[in-house]
Amino acid sequence: MLPQFDPPGFLSDFNAQMLQQWSTAVSGWIDGNIAIVQAELAPGDQPQFYNESRTETPGEPLDQVIGWSGFPGTFRDRWGRQMALDLADNLMPLTQRMDGPGSYFVGELWGNIFYRPQDEYCEWRVTRDDQGRITRVTFTSEPPEYWQALHGDTLPDMSGTPRYPFAGDKQLLLELYREYVDPQVQLADLECQQDLVDHSDPANPQVIYPKGSYNPYNRWNTTGGIMHLTHPANSLSAEINLGALASVQRTANGRTVIDPEALISGAAYGGLNRCSDPTIGSTVNELAALGAFVTLRNPVGLAMHHLSLEGFRTPGGEPVDSSFFTVLRGQPEQGLIEHAVFAVPAGEGYTVSDLTIGGIPITHGGQIAEHIVVNIVGRAAGLGHFANTPVACAASSYQDDWQGNWLTYAQAGEAPSPVSRPAFAYPPATPGTAAPPVAPAPNTVRSLDELAARATPKPPSLLAGTHRHLTRNA
């Protein structure tokens, strides 16, 4: 059995006491999720998702690296690659979701609090010089919880109740920010100067981050720098929740759901259009389908596995080697990169903007992110141990008529937009009855005008809002 959960990427800033506290929190989140799964299962069935520090499993475990592209599929699928590259490098206010209409938090102050709309558990920040040339791109996969812990805050359990206190080390927190972000950072800059209150439910406002606690959206982690993940979905507890929910076998209209997109649509365990969530979920689900105990391997956390530099060239046409990508935190040899900087080695006399990938100049940080593989490791043990009854899917999704790669969850069973059709909605499986014959139907070709009249208005409002937040040379 695992004696203790380690911090993501085996990061080494915690003392023994905080290591213990971290382990308690991770273990608690896992247990909380096991309870959530238990509530979904048929009476008598036991959750396959397990806590490595509490459950002894039979036999040798099998590990599976689950990797995905660092560039947000959400943006690519919604807007196409070019606009996705333009959007992804910018900050967005928390009042603007990047994956559809609506906001993450409601209330005036959230309009001036920013996040990076990079939702693959890999965020980056582009630093430019006075002439707009890219001087470096800094990447992180560290979860906000780690930094809240360093500040000595109390982390919530799965129900949102503050539960896991940390001793913290504010001095170390400050030193790390000064080392990795800016020597000018002050402790007060990192803390909430007032309660950050969410008014999503006007009758019941929620304090998300109380005054004096660590502010994950502090300016040195948003407008003025990058230290850890900021996207509201990029949290460690969200990832554990996804792993847990994915351990449940599901059916739709009487058929076992195997297709990864249909599965996430039916189970609603994450972002439909991400590179990460559908593949994390389906990979865990396939292991669970073999009747195995499944979990996320220690250290539970996200990390970049590697950056592939094939096709990167210097202005002189030479290959760009690993001296351009400096890993500052994490364990690169184990595929656990937590913080890294892409920059031209000092003294070369040119910038990142002068490099090319496949002959195309680097103009966006996202072009580099496209060559990063992010990963977690799934673990399975005791194949054949479980034979749980599958659970019927409660959710479903729609496919956009214009952007065929764009999926959106149904809202209370209804289409999220008039220009969308139900996806993965096959007619009920009724044993013995044949489906209607396969008849070729006539091809209807509609004009562009006709489609445009029906289509979602584009470009979206979020375009207007973002460019003013372009951050340069912090």
Task: Decide whether 194 or 256 has the Cβ nearer to other proteins.
Answer: 256
Cβ neighbourhood burial of 49 (10 Å; 0-12, 13-18, 19+): buried
Both tokens of 285, joined, read: 């689900």
Position 34 contacts other proteins (CB under 8 A): no
Site string for other proteins, 245-264 (x = CB under 8 A): -----------x-xxxxx-x
Position 424 contacts other proteins (CB under 8 A): yes
Candidates 142-150, 153-161, 203-211, 285-293: pick the segment binding other proteins (CB under 8 A): 285-293
Among 438, 459, 464, 468, binds other proteins (CB under 8 A): 438
Q: What is the residue whose two structure tokens read 């699928």?
A: 77
Position 426 contacts other proteins (CB under 8 A): yes
CB of 440 to other proteins, least distance (A): 6
CB 139 within 8 A of CB 120: no
**Greatest CA separation found in the chain?**
74
Position 391 contacts other proteins (CB under 8 A): no
Position 349 contacts other proteins (CB under 8 A): no
Rounded distance between C-alpha atoms, residue 361 and residue 356, angstroms = 4
Question: For residues 43-82, which are near other proteins according to CB under 8 A?
Answer: 60, 62-69, 73, 77
Q: How far apart are the first and last CA of the chain?
A: 46
Query: Considering Cα of 257, then 261, then 263, then 265, what sign does the dihedral take?
Result: negative
Among 3, 440, 457, 459, binds other proteins (CB under 8 A): 440
Q: At 38, phi and psi to the nearest 5?
A: -55, -40
Position 334 contacts other proteins (CB under 8 A): no
Element (H, E) at 463: helix 461-466
Task: Decide whether 31 or 401 has the Cβ nearer to other proteins.
Answer: 401
Among 100, 223, 401, 460, binds other proteins (CB under 8 A): 401
Position 177 contacts other proteins (CB under 8 A): no
Task: Decide whether 179 or 321 has the Cβ nearer to other proteins.
Answer: 321
**DSSP codes, 106-125:** -SGGGGG-EE----SS-EEE
Length of the chain (residues): 474
Among 1, 346, 441, 464, binds other proteins (CB under 8 A): 441
Total residues contacting other proteins (rule CB under 8 A)?
A: 86
